[in-house]
Amino acid sequence: GDSVTQKQGQVTLSEDDFLFINCTYSTTTYPTLFWYVQYPGQGPQLLLKVTTANNKGISRGFEATYDKGTTSFHLQKASVQESDSAVYFCALVKVSGSFNKLTFGAGTRLAVCP
């Protein structure tokens, strides 16, 4: 079945550090890929989305590139701020008829120290 792997459970950085969160996926097709962000006390919200057509997503300074060769979809940001502290989920979508099923990774908790 489909799966998404995030090996980093927690990442701790200082402000202005470079962020890299690893995500790899396994599926039988070329899926649409997402990064969701979850702030404390809230539900996950869409951060960025990448399809096979565009290969790269950019939002709020975050960037992710779809690499079919390595089946990876890593999240990067050049300079993090304390307000970026949150949990980040990588996900893929599988479409079956009129139904979309999102499969999520385990999440990576980012803590940014001032």
Partner 1 sequence: EAAVTQSPRNKVAVTGGKVTLSCNQTNNHNNMYWYRQDTGHGLRLIHYSYGAGSTEKGDIPDGYKASRPSQENFSLILELATPSQTSVYFCASGDRERSDYTFGSGTRLLVI
Q: How many residues bind partner 1 (CB under 8 A)?
A: 24
Site string for partner 1, 81-110 (x = CB under 8 A): --------x---x-x--xxxxx-xxxx---
Q: How far is the CB of 57 from partner 1 (least distance, A)?
A: 12
- Residue choice 34, 62, 66, 73 for contact with partner 1 (CB under 8 A): 34
Measured between alpha carbons, how far is 35 from 82 in angstroms, rounded to an integer? 19
DSSP secondary structure, 18-84, as one string? -EEE--EEE-SS--EEEEEEE-TTS--EEEEEE-TTT-EEEETTEEEE-BTTTTB--EEESS--GGG
CB of residue 53 to partner 1, shortest distance in Å: 13
Hey, which residues between 47 and 86 contact partner 1 (CB under 8 A)?
Answer: 49
Residue matched to tokens 């539900």? 43
**Binding region for partner 1 (CB under 8 A):** 4, 6, 9, 32, 34, 41-46, 49, 89, 93, 95, 98-102, 104-107
